[in-house]
Amino acid sequence: MQDFSIKSVAISSVAGSLITLLMAYASGSSFAALPFPIMAVLAGFLITGILEGLVSKDVNLLEPTISAVVVSVVLYFALPAMQLRGFYDMTTTLLLVMLMNGIVLAALGGWAGEKLHGTIQYGVNEEPVEWGWALCGIILGVTATMFTTSTLVIFLGFKLMEHFIAYVIGLFLAGFIIGLRSRGIIFEEAGIAGFTTVVINVDIVCIALGMLELPVIAGGLVIGIIATYLGGWIGERVHSSRSPHPTRQSNSLFGAMLVPRSK
């Protein structure tokens, strides 16, 4: 199980909140349109993740993610209260989508910070996440959900419930393949793939069709992550019946409790 440092989370959360708010204020005061202020905020999330990786003494993906969530909560309440002209047209739904993207970027920034810090070195410290499998899950998830939904449109037209079911099935299959094909206990990767796939899907749909409704985004996020985790769990159980001795143990207590693979 990975070591967890509350101190490094607190430092990066406070510093990340201040940096992100400062960048939001500078850009939001200078521009009257959303694109540049949004890019400034997302850059602040990247800086938060990188800072966490530099401050942390151990290899841990959970810390930059928690820091990003804290920064997201601060921004959720602070940005509307600041009443900056650059964010004047930002709706609550758009704010949520921006924060979801920020969390993904902060996690990537945390990995980059660990690399810069030197805590991730080949043959010295094992990376907390097998990014190859996480990336594979993201690609499979996006491919499956986009293919099934675009195909359904041809035959059925746009029907929200049918598309939502296809979306859930695509994420479940992505998680299942991760669990089935991996060489060890890989549970965190399914959650990363599920969350990132949902964010990418929301981005694509919002670009193509316009902003979705808030309940649809929130429901898709929760159900999508659960579907990917469930698929990963079932895939791990199927794999465990064939290969009871993993080459890579679980890196978290959560994964070890839910996916015991030793006999």
Domain ranges of the chain: 6-117, 131-258
CA dist 56 and 50 (Å) reads 10
Query: Cα–Cα–Cα angle for 63, 102, 27, nearest 5°?
Result: 125
> H or E element: which one contains 226?
helix 214-242
Q: How many other β-carbons are positioned within 10 Å of the β-carbon of residue 57?
A: 11
Please give the DSSP secondary-structure letter assigned to residue 213. P
Structure tokens at 12: 């990066």
Per-residue pLDDT of the chain (263 residues; tens, 9 = 90+): 455 678 878 888 899 999 999 999 999 998 887 788 999 999 999 888 888 878 776 656 677 888 899 999 999 999 999 999 889 888 898 999 999 999 998 888 887 887 776 655 544 445 556 767 777 888 888 888 888 777 777 777 767 677 778 888 888 888 888 878 766 566 677 778 888 888 988 888 787 667 778 888 888 888 988 998 888 888 888 877 766 555 455 544 344 444 444 43
3-class DSSP state of 29: helix
pLDDT at 169 (0 to 100): 85
pLDDT at 192 (0 to 100): 81
pLDDT at 113 (0 to 100): 80
CA dist 246 and 194 (Å) reads 23
Query: In the chain, what's the furthest Cα-to-Cα distance?
Result: 62
pLDDT at 189 (0 to 100): 75
CA dist 87 and 242 (Å) reads 54
Please give the DSSP secondary-structure letter assigned to residue 212. P
Return the residue matching tokens 């660990």. 114
pLDDT at 182 (0 to 100): 67
Contact 220, 198 (CB under 8 A): yes
